[in-house]
Structure 1
């Protein structure tokens, strides 16, 4: 399953990248993120790996992020692996006018296992909706300092 999502964030690209590239900021725009730990390589650089722990409702999920390409301020590509799911994200950051940044994310999910394949076939809109939610949450964090930390309750940061 492949799809593309876009959002315009009303901050200059330099500020956008600064906020996106700081792993301490992830908790402010990635709902359900409980913790992260660097596993190998130099954090954030190509080939590095990081373990991400999420809790979504009663479900807990562990993802392993592998940085594929880091070419800031233009692009950042990574893969995310969990049980029966391989996700590749190619993110592009375009300077609009010196004051705004367009974030374009090309996402590909590869599923294994009956349940995940079925979810991918029956609910593709749910995956796209979640991707767009993360992007909208980043936009709110970058523009206004709002955070989704503390179990998804939005607060000003």
Structure 2
């Protein structure tokens, strides 16, 4: 499954990238995030790996994030791997005006289990909605300083 999500953030690209690339800020816009653990490389640089631990009710999920391309301020591509699925995300940041940035996220969900294949087929909107929610949370955090915590 592939989909694209876009959002306009009314802040400069330098401010957007500064907040986006800060691991300490993830907790302010990624719902369910419990912890981050550096595995290897320099954070947000090519090849860097980090373990993200999420909790959604009684369900815990560990995700390994790998940076596959980093050309700030314009691009950051990452792969998220967990049980059953690999998400390849290409993030593009474009200056719209002096104080506005367009964030475009292109996502490819690749199931690695039968169960996840069925979920992607039967409920693609769940994945799309989660991406849109995270992007909206980030926009609110950057523009208004609003944290989900």
Q: Same fold per TM (> 0.5)? A: yes
> For the aligned residues, what is the CA RMSD?
0.6
**SS class of match (2:92):** strand
Answering whether residue 128 of structure 2 is matched by residue 138 of structure 1, we say no
TM-score (norm 2): 0.98
Shift of 1:75: 0.5
**SS class of match (1:147):** coil
- Using the alignment, how far apart are the partners of 2:43 and 2:92 within structure 1? 20
Answering whether residue 43 of structure 2 is matched by residue 43 of structure 1, we say yes
- Using the alignment, how far apart are the partners of 1:51 and 1:31 within structure 2? 16
- Using the alignment, how far apart are the partners of 1:43 and 1:130 within structure 2? 24
- Using the alignment, how far apart are the partners of 1:20 and 1:43 within structure 2? 12
Answering whether residue 8 of structure 2 is matched by residue 8 of structure 1, we say yes
Shift of 1:56: 1.1
**SS class of match (1:91):** strand
Q: Give the equivalent residue in structure 1 for 2:27.
A: 27
Shift of 1:38: 0.6
Q: Give the equivalent residue in structure 2 for 1:73.
A: 73
How big is each residue's C-alpha offset from its partner over 1:109-151, in whole Å with a ceiling of 9 and x where there is no partner? 00022211110000001100100000000000000011112xx
Shift of 1:54: 0.3
Q: Give the equivalent residue in structure 2 for 1:106.
A: 106
- Using the alignment, how far apart are the partners of 2:56 and 2:141 within structure 1? 20
**SS class of match (1:146):** coil
Q: How many pairs were matched up?
A: 149
Q: Which runs of 4+ in 1 moved over 2 A?
A: none
TM-score (norm 1): 0.93
- Using the alignment, how far apart are the partners of 1:123 and 1:87 within structure 2? 16
Answering whether residue 133 of structure 2 is matched by residue 129 of structure 1, we say no
- Using the alignment, how far apart are the partners of 1:112 and 1:122 within structure 2? 16
